[in-house]
Structure 1
Amino acid sequence: MIAESVLRELMSRQQLLPLRFCQSLWLIDSRAALYWPEQDCLLVGDLHFEKGSYLSQYASPVPRYDSRATLEVLKTLLATYQPKRVICLGDSFHDQGAFERLIEDDVKQLQSLIDSVSEWLWVEGNHDPDIPAAIGGKVVPHLMLTTQTGVGITCQHIPDNRDEPKIVGHYHPKGRFIAPPRRFNGKCLVTTDKLMLMPALGQYTGGLRIDDEVLTALAPKTQRQCYLLCEGRVVLLPPRS
């Protein structure tokens, strides 16, 4: 559980921002993570471990240190929030061979992070349907959370058509905010009354602009709120963004 002094410091720096979802309080962190104080739970999406090594197989000139960078972000998040439970919302590994391409030190660090919490849950994604048991944690196709007021929230990678609250990954939403003469770009959390679209935590993940028709169909501008993550801060975007 995050210490109250740390919480106050992060909020004073605008590194996190509280929001309400399904009658419950959540905290969005500028490092692309969501913390749920009610159940001492940290949620992250789309880690895409070893995307760099995957791309390098096709002569893409990107550094192969993306997994190390993602692990360092996870390490700082766990040190900050000290959660009992971690939920990874799918596409944690970029492809079926990603785990085998992780270097030994990265495997050890990941296993150390998993062992540091009471429960680590891997929600299956479309990129990683076969997460190896050797890494630790528990693999689930989806997960149901229940708030103190009895509201059920489904955690899954890709949203379905069921009219129920859900938290999903997959789309890597991105946005921008213009405050002349500057233009800010970054990852986004998008919320409606019944849907949270999580930002991607991983490196090289790209993403869909929040004004893309795919995202506006899922979360119409008149019904949603967008939170831009940039320069270590969380920025509440204007209505209808």
Structure 2
Amino acid sequence: MNGHLSIEHCAETLWLLADRAIYWPAQRALLVADVHIGKAASYRALHQPVPKGTTAATLQRLDSLLATHDCEQLIILGDFLHARAARTPATMALLQAWRNRHPCLHVRLIRGNHDRHAGDPPGELNIEVHDEPWLLGPFALQHEPTPHPERPVLAGHVHPVFTLRGRARQRLRLRCFVMQSQVSLLPAFGEFTGGWDMERAPGRRIFPTGADQVWTVAE
């Protein structure tokens, strides 16, 4: 289906969005993972030649998703800020302008490993911060993809990707959702992120995203 794929997972309807997020209609919630705001700025602080504009592009994609879907809350499954070096005046100004565009949106962050090093977002951004796991509905929402003793997990951290292989050694590497009974993974939302290759396995549903579509890969 163009734009999103609706699936049933743990008796909940979830929309897997081509733009690497999950919309959960019952909670009016948009879920993203591994946003890594300011990663490029952090690299430039180390004198690495990386592109500019990735933070603005990431926030514009968030704007588009929030405008398209009926969202009461945005839930970030860890790694919102990339590092302390990401807190440049320009990056913080972009973030504040984004927050000002969504004053009524309830934003929650489940701390990830980068958040622990970068520190919590500035109070002016009005982001509610939680340690993992944070329980909502049937799920344990986490950054780390570790099983919860009682609930299925939705997590990030891994930056999952899947490689489609064609004829003549053609390959296409796409970010993907990975849905499993115990621990499911969201793709990295941020513009400037790498990926970890996922393979087919029994009980593992893989959904690559790209070109405004979400596909299903047979187990």
Task: Give 1:227's match in structure 2, choosing from 186, 191, 207.
Answer: 207
Q: Determine the C-alpha separation between the residues in 2 that align with 1:55 and 1:141.
A: 27
1:200 aligns with 2:181: no
The residue that corresponds to 1:107 in the other structure is: 95
Letter in 2 for 1:137: I
Structure 1 residue 101 displacement after superposition: 4.5
Secondary structure at the aligned position of 1:159 is classed as: coil
Q: Determine the C-alpha separation between the residues in 2 that align with 1:161 and 1:44.
A: 19
1:56 aligns with 2:34: no
Moved more, 179-188 or 229-238: 179-188
Letter in 2 for 1:23: A
The within-5 A match list for 1:70-109 is 70-103=58-91, 105-109=93-97
The residue that corresponds to 1:156 in the other structure is: 142
Structure 1 residue 174 displacement after superposition: 0.6
Contact 2:33 2:189 in 1 (8 A): yes
Structure 1 residue 112 displacement after superposition: 2.2
Query: How many aligned residue pairs are there?
Result: 213
Deviations 1:22-48 (A, max 9, x none): 111100001000011111111001000
The within-5 A match list for 1:207-222 is 207-211=195-199, 221-222=201-202
Q: Determine the C-alpha separation between the residues in 2 that align with 1:112 and 1:184.
A: 38
Q: Could you say if the C-alpha distance between residues 113 and 126 of structure 1 is closer, same or farther in structure 2, counting changes exceeding 3 Å?
A: farther
1:145 aligns with 2:101: no
The residue that corresponds to 1:43 in the other structure is: 31
Letter in 1 for 2:173: N
TM-score, with normalisation over the residues of structure 2? 0.90
Contact 1:174 1:186 in 2 (8 A): yes
The residue that corresponds to 1:122 in the other structure is: 109
The residue that corresponds to 1:165 in the other structure is: 152
Q: Determine the C-alpha separation between the residues in 2 that align with 1:45 and 1:116.
A: 21
Structure 1 residue 187 displacement after superposition: 0.5
TM-score, with normalisation over the residues of structure 1? 0.82
Letter in 2 for 1:60: Q
Q: Determine the C-alpha separation between the residues in 1 that align with 2:62 and 2:152.
A: 26
Secondary structure at the aligned position of 1:154 is classed as: strand
Q: Determine the C-alpha separation between the residues in 1 that align with 2:173 and 2:3.
A: 16
Q: Determine the C-alpha separation between the residues in 2 that align with 1:78 and 1:91.
A: 20
Secondary structure at the aligned position of 2:5 is classed as: strand
Structure 1 residue 116 displacement after superposition: 3.9
| Runs of 4+ deviating beyond 6 Å | none
Q: Determine the C-alpha separation between the residues in 1 that align with 2:59 and 2:148.
A: 34
Q: Determine the C-alpha separation between the residues in 2 that align with 1:113 and 1:33.
A: 20
Where does structure 1 lack aligned partners over 5 or more consecutive residues?
Answer: 1-10, 147-151, 212-219
The residue that corresponds to 1:214 in the other structure is: none
Secondary structure at the aligned position of 1:46 is classed as: coil
Deviations 1:96-135 (A, max 9, x none): 2323454454133321244242x11011110012212222
1:186 aligns with 2:186: no
Where does structure 2 lack aligned partners over 5 or more consecutive residues?
Answer: none
Q: Percent identity?
A: 27
Contact 1:49 1:93 in 2 (8 A): yes
